[in-house]
């Protein structure tokens, strides 16, 4: 504590302290003070890497020894666990040769945190890859994408039947859900951000509460409110309603966050130019937030496509292509997966994995699309868009110059035309340079 104080006080100040009778603060001479080695907080040295590699080799060796020769241990999970523990032990030992206890702890924790990341990454890649690999059996058959299961029985081979009815069902259900969710969700988000007030806060609280709604309860609500009371039959429309109830809070929340990121000075500039509230929203806020809003909608779509449990209660299971959303059951991809793998037949299970692979590819595509569309923050433009904006302002400039030339040609120059001409001249110089 004294050192930090001393370094901030100038020698003159210390002298005045001494004169006033208080004990003088001692200042360590900066020349003679030893400067310790700089502590590395990021990055890895060469010997750090060798420590990791060596400890890993030792861990694997110990596990092989234990499982192969020394003791009667067996099982893949146990092997990995023993190897990992041995790796941690050896790594701590190796680091402790060159460092103190604090640094050993630091290195061990870094390794533990990285392992958590690797484990999560491994789990995700494994879940996706497992589905895709097991789906390979069904995917190469072209009839898988062109036929429905109408004529295929459980004992038929994979060259009969397909999932075109589920693909069509998913597309119709998600389109209906989006037709409700996009306008309603984005308008509600605009209401939360641009209008505000006490009611808006209430809406935000309710829509936050809605994200807690378990999907099966949403399905049960639609089942008992729409199917039991009104339509008396399962339909694609009911499924779309259930998906809407699930997607709406997600889209509202995500759009709300995006709209909040639109810079306030853009809005203020629009208001200062005298535009109305609606003109500001339509010409400034929405175009600025467009990539973010698209991302919000696409991510909501990805979630909505994968919803199984609300659809299970509302859409019904069928093997036939049904293009009428208001009558008769209409199956979707996740429900078709669920229905296929309930069967004990290996061909049906292969179809289930094929359907799951199609579903996950769809979700991955949507996700990649969201990254491409929404990778930029609000207001950042793509090169082509920037080119367009430059061209547009060039045209504006030309128009203004033409008008100014006309005004200059006027025989009686009015005083108020003079100040407007000078900023235009400035812009001309700027763009030409």
Residue 136 tokens, joined = 């390979």
- Does residue 96 touch other proteins according to CB under 8 A? no
CB-wise, 171 or 213, nearer to other proteins? 213
- Does residue 91 touch other proteins according to CB under 8 A? no
- Does residue 105 touch other proteins according to CB under 8 A? yes
How far, in Å, CA of 267 to CA of 16, rounded?
55
- Does residue 390 touch other proteins according to CB under 8 A? no
Give the single-character DSSP code of 158: T
Residue 389 tokens, joined = 């904006």
Task: Give me the phi and psi of 36, to 5 degrees please.
Answer: -70, 170
Question: 31, 329, 38, 294: which is closest to 173 by C-alpha?
Answer: 329
- Does residue 88 touch other proteins according to CB under 8 A? no
User: Minimum Å distance from CB 312 to other proteins?
Assistant: 6
Please identify which residue in 182, 360, 374, 378 interacts with other proteins, judged by CB under 8 A. 360
Please report, as residue ranges, which positions from 181 to 210 form the binding site for other proteins (by CB under 8 A): 183-184, 187-188, 190-192, 194-195, 199-200, 202-203, 206-210
User: Minimum Å distance from CB 390 to other proteins?
Assistant: 28
CB-wise, 56 or 203, nearer to other proteins? 203
- Does residue 133 touch other proteins according to CB under 8 A? no
How far, in Å, CA of 407 to CA of 196, rounded?
45
Please report, as residue ranges, which positions from 24 to 53 form the binding site for other proteins (by CB under 8 A): 39, 41-42
Piece of 20-28, 60-68, 141-149, 214-222 that binds other proteins (CB under 8 A)? 214-222
CB-wise, 103 or 156, nearer to other proteins? 103
Q: Please answer whether residues 162 and 146 qualify as being in contact, where contact means their C-beta atoms are separated by less than 8 angstroms.
A: yes
Residue 296 tokens, joined = 């919000």
- Does residue 376 touch other proteins according to CB under 8 A? no
Piece of 56-64, 162-170, 284-292, 354-362 that binds other proteins (CB under 8 A)? 354-362
CB-wise, 232 or 384, nearer to other proteins? 232
Please report, as residue ranges, which positions from 269 to 298 form the binding site for other proteins (by CB under 8 A): 276-279, 281
Q: How far is CA 120 from the centre of its chain?
A: 16
Q: Please answer whether residues 400 and 425 qualify as being in contact, where contact means their C-beta atoms are separated by less than 8 angstroms.
A: no
How far, in Å, CA of 217 to CA of 65, rounded?
53
Question: 362, 316, 358, 357: which is closest to 335 by C-alpha?
Answer: 316
Piece of 27-35, 112-120, 165-173, 403-411 that binds other proteins (CB under 8 A)? 112-120
Piece of 6-14, 48-56, 170-178, 336-344 that binds other proteins (CB under 8 A)? 336-344
CB-wise, 217 or 397, nearer to other proteins? 217
How far, in Å, CA of 404 to CA of 418, rounded?
10
Give the 3-state secondary structure percentages of the chain, helix then strand then coil, rounded to 5.
Answer: 75, 0, 25
- Does residue 401 touch other proteins according to CB under 8 A? no
Cα 203-205-210 angle, rounded to 5 deg: 95
How far, in Å, CA of 190 to CA of 200, rounded?
10
Piece of 11-19, 57-65, 144-152, 252-260 that binds other proteins (CB under 8 A)? 252-260
How far, in Å, CA of 312 to CA of 309, rounded?
5
User: Minimum Å distance from CB 19 to other proteins?
Assistant: 32
């Amino acid at each position: 504590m004294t050192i930090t104080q001393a370094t901030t006080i100038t020698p003159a100040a210390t002298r005045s302290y001494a004169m006033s009778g208080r004990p003088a603060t001692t200042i360590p001479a900066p020349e003679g003070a030893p400067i310790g080695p700089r502590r590395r907080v990021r990055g890895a040295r060469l010997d750090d890497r060798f420590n990791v590699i060596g400890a890993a080799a030792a861990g694997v060796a110990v596990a092989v020894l234990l499982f192969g020769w020394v003791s009667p241990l067996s099982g893949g999970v146990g092997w990995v666990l023993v190897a990992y523990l041995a790796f941690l032990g050896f790594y701590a030992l190796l680091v402790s040769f060159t460092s103190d206890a604090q640094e050993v702890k630091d290195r061990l924790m870094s390794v533990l945190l990285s392992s958590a990341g690797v484990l999560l990454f491994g789990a995700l890649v494994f879940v996706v890859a497992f589905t895709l690999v097991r789906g390979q059996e069904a995917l190469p058959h072209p009839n898988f994408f062109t036929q429905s299961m109408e004529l295929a029985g459980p004992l038929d081979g994979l060259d009969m039947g397909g999932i075109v009815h589920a693909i069509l069902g998913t597309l119709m259900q998600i389109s209906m859900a989006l037709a409700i969710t996009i306008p309603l969700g984005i308008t509600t988000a605009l209401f939360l951000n641009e209008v505000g007030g006490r009611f808006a806060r209430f809406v935000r609280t309710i829509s936050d509460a809605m994200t807690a709604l378990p999907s099966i309860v949403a399905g049960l609500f639609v089942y008992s409110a729409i199917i039991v009371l009104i339509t008396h039959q399962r339909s694609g429309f009911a499924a779309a309603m259930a998906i809407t109830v699930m997607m709406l809070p997600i889209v509202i929340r995500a759009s709300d966050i995006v709209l909040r990121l639109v810079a306030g000075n853009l809005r203020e500039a629009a208001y200062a130019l005298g535009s109305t509230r609606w003109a500001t929203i339509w010409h400034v806020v929405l175009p600025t937030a467009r990539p973010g809003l698209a991302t919000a909608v696409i991510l909501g779509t990805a979630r909505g496509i994968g919803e199984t449990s609300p659809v299970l209660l509302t859409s019904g299971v069928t093997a036939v292509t049904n293009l009428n959303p208001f009558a008769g059951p209409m199956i979707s991809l996740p429900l078709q997966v669920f229905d296929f793998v309930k069967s004990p037949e290996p061909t049906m299970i292969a179809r289930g994995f094929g359907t799951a692979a199609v579903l996950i590819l769809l979700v991955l595509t949507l996700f990649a699309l969201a990254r491409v569309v929404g990778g930029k923050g609000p207001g950042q433009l793509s090169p082509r868009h920037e080119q367009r904006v430059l061209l547009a302002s060039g045209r504006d400039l030309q128009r203004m110059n033409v008008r100014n030339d006309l005004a200059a040609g006027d025989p009686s120059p009015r005083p108020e035309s003079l100040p407007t001409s000078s900023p235009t001249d400035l812009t001309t110089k700027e763009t030409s340079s």
